[in-house]
Amino acid sequence: MTSSRNQIMIKKPGSYNALFFDETPLEDPGPQEVQVQVKACGINFADICVRLGLYEAAKGNYPICPGLEFSGVVNRIGEHIQTVKPGDRVFGASRFGAYTTAINTVPDMLWPLPDHWDFTRGASFPVAYLTAWYGLHETGHLKKAETVLVHSAAGGVGTSMMHLLKLNGNRAVGVIGHSDKKAAVLDTGAAHVIDKQTQDLWKEAEKLNPEGYDMIADANGASTLKGSYNHLKPGGRLLIYGFASMFSHTGRKNLPKLIWDYFRTPRFSPFDMTGSNKTVSGFNLIYLFDKIDLFRAIMDRLLRLDQQKMLPPMPITTFPFRNVANAHRAMESGLSVGKLVLEIL
């Protein structure tokens, strides 16, 4: 049997007008699937890249429904599903397709929504915290007492990293691009905040830690990668998980800027890395969706920490489902704090 759902679709890459609403078929869940009535879906920078046609994982898949995370209520289950039942509140991650009012998904990427969470928190949690934990612990091999510098510390992943660093006992320095984000980053437990609007980033970073940093998390790209690498101490690790500074704030693809930033992005020499004893690691959560056991192990740890009241809530700004263009504008503006979430009312 086929019913219908409303999805936000992108037929071909473009600006905000590339986003359109479409009533699309929703098949019954398969034997190993769960059908979720979606109540909220998280916004991520990857969604911006999908809209602009700059996300490698989405190429060849247009028209496409973007979205990597959601929360809602189980509507129906396949005949072989025993882990959830209709009426259960859940949250989950998906490899695209979360900008929708209903989704059929596998139970491996679903988790029970904690009783003290609302749907907006559920939709804001998976991508940011899985990325932060994977980067710091699985890729960065974080050790206690290390000093870590986090770019874009007021964003979703940045805030998650700051929470996890405080929890681990690390000294964390958060970097922001706008002064009005300072209070939010201090609330995460940052030892110091560098405000690029009023301070020289690298002079201040050197003043705070003259010997360099054990780890730097950088999702900016060309604007800061070289400086980040140069400010690692011997044995330091640079984590790269995005290239946000390469994109304009206009909602459109700025090809000259992309080309310019591509060519000024540093190419790290293995000879230099060996001689200076530095590590450069890049990762993207979208290419890890086959690592189900790892995802579930990380999420189990995160949910235990939340149950123990050790993970404070993320700042969240909500938008009605049909105001997705405004949500994308807000994310691209560089002025938002924490996570942005679409609510389906």
Q: What is the pLDDT of residues 177-203, one digit of tens each?
A: 999 999 999 999 999 999 999 999 999
Q: Average pLDDT, stretch 16-39? A: 95
Q: Between vectors from CA 56 to CA 55 and to CA 58, what angle results, nearest 5°?
A: 70
Q: Say how far apart CA 274 and CA 256 lie, in whole Å.
A: 34
pLDDT for 259 equals: 84
Residue 301 pLDDT > 80: yes
Mean pLDDT of the chain: 95
Question: Parallel, antiparallel, or unpaired: how do β-strands 339-343 and 316-320 relate?
Answer: parallel
Cβ neighbourhood burial of 315 (10 Å; 0-12, 13-18, 19+): middle
Q: Are 126 and 232 in contact (CB under 8 A)?
A: no
**Domains detected in the chain:** 2-125+315-343 (3.90.180.10), 128-286 (3.40.50.720)
SS3 content of the chain, % helix, strand, coil (to 5): 35, 30, 35
Q: Say how far apart CA 223 and CA 197 lie, in whole Å.
A: 14
pLDDT for 2 equals: 67
Q: Average pLDDT, stretch 309-333? A: 96
Q: Say how far apart CA 197 and CA 201 lie, in whole Å.
A: 9
The answer to whether the bond into 126 is cis (omega within 30° of 0) is no
Q: Which residue in 204, 192, 260, 196 sits closest to 231, CA to CA? A: 204
Residue 311 pLDDT > 70: yes
pTM listed for this prediction: 0.95
Q: Average pLDDT, stretch 304-330? A: 97
